[in-house]
Amino acid sequence: MKKYPDKFVGFAALDPRRPDAMDLLKRAVEDHGLKGIKFGPIYNGVSLLDPRMEPVYRYCVKHNLPLTMHMGTTFATNAPVELGRPVDVDTIAMRHPDLKMIMAHMAHPWWEECIVVARKQPNVFCEVSALFYRPWQFWNILVCAQEYRIVEHEKIFWGTDFPFTGVAESIAGLRAVNRLVEGTALPRVANETIERILHSNPFAHWWHGGLAV
Amino acid sequence: MIVDCHVNIWEPQHVRPLFAAGTKTARPGEVGIAADADTLHAAMKDVDKAII
């Protein structure tokens, strides 16, 4: 962030298994100026419902920090994917209604669950990073999001998950989402939906009052 | 404006062999695992901001 302040906004990676997790979190935010928290329940093996997460939620609310989370599955054989279900985000959102949470990767393969949770919880969002290379799933995700109207309510954001994908291919993949249904009567992801996601602005929504960048 | 809301940053010593091996199954094609600050800056040249 110090080297490239005009380009990057930094989030702190959280490992709640560490006894000094909260101390590290406070240092990251209060000493180093990081603007949010990143957590992966399936990577740490810690459920969102685990009591160790409660101080994290309270700290995030107190300091207006969004909590972005790898939700859904992963390729790692030892990752307990049951911890990546969006229903847990729904539970936490009801318990902490001022906590801004973001579900990464549309919590695939539970993207319908992700969409309904993002729809019903005002402070819950989702994002489409690292999905375009599964074109059938990606098309289904965006049609479903369109039909549940969460795109027009600015609940979906764009990202790459770099280095797993790059900027150019992610943009191209999003804009080509209708390619596999060409010549069919299947519904289209509207151009407005595509461009709205691509040009979405997390700084306007992920922080109460927005984040000046 | 285009904002990449999900960019990973790490140094080579952060990448353990098990994770590196797992990236080969993450998606079709080759996955580069370099994610240091300079690599990110070059990769993000066409976006306005990136959350890392």
Out of A3, A165, A167, closest to residue B44 by CB? A167
Q: Is the confidence at residue B45, as pLDDT, over 90?
A: yes
- Ranges of chain A with pLDDT below 70: none
What is the rounded average pLDDT of the residues B10-33?
A: 84
Compute the mean pLDDT over every residue in chain B, rounded to the nearest whole number.
91
Cα of A41 to nearest chain B Cα, Å = 16
Best of A38, A138, A160, A171 to mutate (most B CBs within 10 Å, chain B): A160
Backbone phi, psi, residue B2, to 5°: -120, 125
Banded model confidence at residue B22, pLDDT cuts 50, 70, 90: confident
Contact A114, A88 (CB under 8 A): no
Please state the length of chain B.
Answer: 52
Q: Is the confidence at residue B17, as pLDDT, over 90?
A: no
pLDDT value at residue A159:
98
Q: Three-class SS of residue A126?
A: strand
List of chain B residues whose C-beta atoms are within 8 Å of the C-beta of residue A77: 22
pLDDT value at residue B23:
82
Find residue A69's DSSP bridge partners: A39, A103
Please give the model's pTM, rounded to 2 decimal places: 0.97
Q: Is the confidence at residue B31, as pLDDT, over 90?
A: no
Contact A119, A148 (CB under 8 A): yes
pLDDT value at residue A77:
86
pLDDT value at residue A12:
98
Contact A24, A58 (CB under 8 A): no
Question: In this structure, is the dihedral angle defined by the CA atoms of residues A164, A169, A170 and A173, taken in order, positive or negative?
Answer: negative
pLDDT value at residue A50:
98
